[in-house]
């Protein structure tokens, strides 16, 4: 069940290195410059418990984790973040901009990992207690480009280290979900320069702001 809340919940999602973290920061700044009250969160993470779960999920010393285990850990992390931060923020009318969300679990563990995407959407609704994004913007770019960008920053984490075929399925998964539900998704070409990507996200977000 989706509940109507005072605030607005925006998610930026997409494959590795697409520019999500960069654009979450830019979008929050732009919203504040426009006089709106906005905050950001990252998923998994943003609370002490969720950050601890994130460490387990991204730990390269644990390469053998099953996709089902991953799903439940992501959902546990998310449940905590939603109840502690996202729901209270929306209740007081904030715009919450989130770096990844349930759509990532659907893409990685669902489309690429072999678990039924519908099951993951259902678990997401349960974990988040009715909180759903007003809009999810998918930052899309070729897999190679994204991985190259991400690798300039840091050593690959446990998920990033998966093979090219896996990451191609992730990308196609994001595009499939966006195509299936155009009313709550937008796709932006993330291979453009950062300013152009920011502008495209702003145009898409206007739909729900």
Ligand X SMILES: Nc1ncnc2c1ncn2[C@@H]1O[C@H](COP(=O)(O)OP(=O)(O)OP(=O)(O)O)[C@@H](O)[C@H]1O
In the complex, the residues that contact Mg ion under the rule CB under 5 A are 20-21
In this structure, what token pair is assigned to residue 36? 């709106």
Does residue 150 interact with ligand X by CB under 6 A?
yes
Does residue 149 interact with ligand X by CB under 6 A?
yes
Please give the DSSP secondary-structure letter assigned to residue 84: I
* Residues ≥6 apart with Cβ < 8 Å to 48: none
Within the chain, where are the H helices? 20-33, 48-58, 67-81, 87-91, 102-105, 117-128, 143-153, 164-180, 194-205
Question: How near is the Cβ of 193 to ligand X at its closest, in Å?
Answer: 6
Nearer to ligand X, 87 or 136 (CB): 136
Phi, psi of 19 (to 5 degrees): 105, 20
Does residue 171 interact with ligand X by CB under 6 A?
no
Residue 43 binds which of Mg ion, ligand X, none (CB < 5-8 A, kind-dependent): none
Question: How near is the Cβ of 197 to ligand X at its closest, in Å?
Answer: 5
Does residue 39 interact with ligand X by CB under 6 A?
no
Burial label, 202 (beta-carbon count in 10 A; 0-12, 13-18, 19+): middle
Per-residue binding string, ligand X, 175-204, x by CB under 6 A, is ------------------xx--x-------
Residue 19 binds which of Mg ion, ligand X, none (CB < 5-8 A, kind-dependent): ligand X
Does residue 1 interact with ligand X by CB under 6 A?
no
User: Cα torsion at 43, 48, 49, 52 (round to 10°)?
Assistant: 80
Which residues contact ligand X (rule: CB under 6 A)? 16-22, 149-150, 152-153, 193-194, 197
């Amino acid at each position: 069940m989706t509940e109507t809340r005072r605030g607005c919940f925006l998610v930026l999602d997409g494959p590795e290195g697409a520019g999500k973290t960069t654009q979450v920061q830019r979008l929050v700044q732009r919203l504040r410059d426009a006089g709106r009250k906005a905050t950001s969160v990252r998923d998994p993470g943003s609370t002490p418990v969720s950050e601890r779960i994130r460490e387990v999920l991204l730990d390269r010393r644990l390469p053998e984790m099953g996709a089902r285990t991953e799903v439940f850990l992501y959902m546990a992390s998310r449940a905590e973040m939603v109840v502690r931060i996202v729901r209270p923020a929306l209740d007081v009318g904030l715009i919450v901009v989130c770096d990844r969300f349930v759509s990532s679990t659907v893409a990685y563990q669902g489309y690429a990992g072999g678990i039924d995407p519908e099951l993951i959407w259902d678990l997401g609704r349960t974990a988040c207690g009715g909180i759903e994004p007003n809009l999810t913007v998918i930052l899309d770019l070729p897999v190679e480009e994204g991985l190259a960008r991400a690798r300039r920053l840091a050593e690959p984490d446990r998920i990033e280290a998966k093979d090219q075929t896996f990451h191609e399925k992730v990308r196609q998964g994001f595009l499939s979900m966006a195509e299936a539900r155009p009313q709550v998704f937008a796709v932006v070409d993330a291979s453009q320069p950062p300013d152009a990507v920011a502008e495209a996200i702003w145009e898409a977000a206007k739909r729900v702001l």
